[in-house]
Homo-oligomer: A and B are copies of this chain.
Amino acid sequence: MKLLTLSVLSTSLLLASPLVKQANEAGLKAIPSDEDQLMKLIDNPNNPITDKKVELGKKLFFDPRLSKSNIISCNTCHNLATGGIDGVSAAVGHNWAANPHHLNSPTVYNAVFFTSQFWDGRDPDLEKQAQGPIQAHPEMAATKEHVVNTVTSMPEYVSEFKAAYGDKVEITFEKVTDTIATFERVLVTPSRYDEYLNGDENAMSASEKEGLKTFIDMGCVSCHDGVALGGNMNTFEITGKYIHGDIGDFKGNKEGLVKVPTLRNIAETAPYFHNGAIWSLKDAIVEMGRIQLGADISDKDAASIEAFFGALTGTKPDISYPQLPARTATTPKPDMN
């Protein structure tokens, strides 16, 4: 029995090594297991990661009082308990308004690896991205003044900003969103797939490896590449026009293209596509084959690719639920209208 196991193991070792090579050549990259290497990848020289900023950014990320209504936080739509998303087709925000373009909330996990943010890729990084939803009317619907007045009304927040940025810090809207972005930068979820690419041949099962090979061979990797298996500006595709008709009026970027989403934690982030039109991961795989690759992906191949996607479900950072500062007399009141 022991010999048999060993023999299976060494066969898998022999088979797997070329696959890792193929994956690397195809542009797939692991999340580095080395902490310094990872930090290099996720840090922003213009907004460097520090422990104090991460902790403060976490509070702000979870604080619903940044919204006009006081009941919507970043975490409402990018829920860290459910894969960094809200699990509804179109995001619902202030006044229960659905996103007018019927856009689905993208996950915040691993968004640090994207080379552009939003479904039309209009913003370059998380710092810029964080400014959008807080102000967007169907989302948190707050003014910059509301955010600054809210944060500066609570002495605990002011102290934490001073501790993070120095006593002379000016608490601007951009300082608040930069701090939220710093927290988001550490929301990285290494998975068995990374262990596999980083050299542990046994981290993925035989069927998952087979799925990875199918994924590369069929050409999925031509868009879903890099560390995030997606999220790169250069790989926009014209999915918008095809998936279940044109729900909403979203037209993509200037060229009518939509950003390719990450596949990390994809098993946890239904519904799929920019309009959240498809709930089944297998259906989404088949639909992508049809639209993007002009291929009829067989049931067997779709199942194989789906098996591989299971290895992309990563370990989430431990997050202690924050205790937020108490409001004071000068904290802006909620406005539900």
Contacts and interface: CB of A to CB of B under 8 A. Distances in A.
Interface in A58-98: 62-65, 69-71, 76, 79-83, 86-89, 92, 95-96, 98
A318 interface: yes
A327 interface: yes
Given A80-B321, A268-B326, A323-B316, A86 B62 contact: no
B321 A87 contact: no
A173 interface: no
A98 B336 contact: yes
Contacts of A98: 336
A329 interface: yes
A88 B63 contact: no
A319 interface: yes
Contacts of A327: 87, 270
A279 B70 CA distance: 14
B267 A326 contact: yes
Given A280-B329, A321-B319, A69 B88 contact: yes
A324 interface: yes
Given A321-B319, A323-B316, A336-B96, A71 B88 contact: yes
Contacts of A89: 334
Nearest to A88: B334
Contacts of A322: 81
B62 A88 contact: no
A280 B320 CA distance: 30
A318 to B, nearest CB: 6
Interface string A245-279: 00000000000000000000001101000000001
Contacts of A71: 76, 86-88, 92
Contact of A87 (B70, B267, B268): B70
Given A81-B324, A96-B96, A279 B333 contact: yes
Contact of A81 (B62, B70, B316): B62
Contact of A320 (B62, B79, B319): B319
B81 A69 contact: no
Contacts of A268: 326
A79 B64 contact: yes
A82 B320 contact: no
Nearest to A97: B96
Which of A79, A95, A321 is most buried by chain B, counting CB atoms within 10 A of its CB? A321
Interface string A91-119: 01001101000000000000000000000
Given A83-B326, A268-B326, A270-B327, 9 more contacts: A63-B81, A64-B86, A69-B92, A70-B86, A71-B87, A81-B323, A82-B324, A88-B334, A89-B334
10 contacts: A65-B82, A65-B87, A69-B88, A69-B92, A70-B87, A71-B86, A87-B334, A89-B334, A92-B336, A98-B336
